[in-house]
Amino acid sequence: DAMVIQNPRYQVTQFGKPVTLSCSQTLNHNVMYWYQQKSSQAPKLLFHYYDKDFNNEADTPDNFQSRRPNTSFCFLDIRSPGLGDAAMYLCATSSWGDEQYFGPGTRLTVT
Amino acid sequence: GENVEQHPSTLSVQEGDSAVIKCTYSDSASNYFPWYKQELGKRPQLIIDIRSNVGEKKDQRIAVTLNKTAKHFSLHITETQPEDSAVYFCAASKDYKLSFGAGTTVTVRA
């Protein structure tokens, strides 16, 4: 029973071509997060939504945007991907900031 | 912001021995401390967590201890098995956000 679903699991995009990653959840959690994880590193928080309130991390590049149209869905938009944006993108959810449940991730390749 | 330091960065143990990973945090307002296990190419999975009002928690072969005064917490894995080989991340939570340690790569030798 998938609880946090990410699509696609693998995404290849060209340098500078916009890409959107999606996340959905069946847990009805009010908080949703987007992390970037590069090889051998810890997940790095990009931003999170507390209900509809958007919270951006200070060091998240403007190239990264997010949308949360409803409780269940959240999207990560990369406006002009660069080679340095190749990474695993993890979505997570939590209920009132408690335990975070991670999705399986989307592996992004930039060519 | 919160700063979490994790040691060691790599740990190799003989099967059946114990493994200990230590983390320190900087913000005394952090109140929730989860540990995640991540296998290659997979999502981080919560293995155990502890809250600031508890000093120790155990779940089968895994235990976590927390010293709020010293601002450090540790993961203990006993009777290690090959399937324990993975990267382990500690984290500290404040204001709904997790700050992760850099991770420890644990290798269990058969």
Is any Cβ of chain B less than 8 angstroms from the Cβ of A41?
Answer: yes
- pLDDT (tens digit, 9 = 90+) per residue, A66-110? 999 999 999 999 999 999 999 999 999 999 777 899 999 999 999
Is any Cβ of chain A less than 8 angstroms from the Cβ of B29?
Answer: no
Could you say which of B44, B95, B96 has the minimum Cβ distance to residue A102? B44
Q: Is the pLDDT of residue B74 over 90?
A: yes
Contact residues on chain A for B102, CB-CB shorter than 8 A: 41-42
* Residues A103 and A37 sit within 8 Å (Cβ to Cβ): no
CB contact under 8 A, B32 and A98: yes
- pLDDT (tens digit, 9 = 90+) per residue, A15-60? 999 999 999 999 999 999 999 999 989 999 999 999 999 999 999 9
Average pLDDT across chain A, whole number:
95
Amino acid of residue A8: P
Q: Is the dihedral of CA A75, A76, A80, A83 positive or negative?
A: negative
Confidence of residue B84 (pLDDT cuts 50, 70, 90): very high
Q: How many CB pairs below 8 Å do chains A and B form together?
A: 41
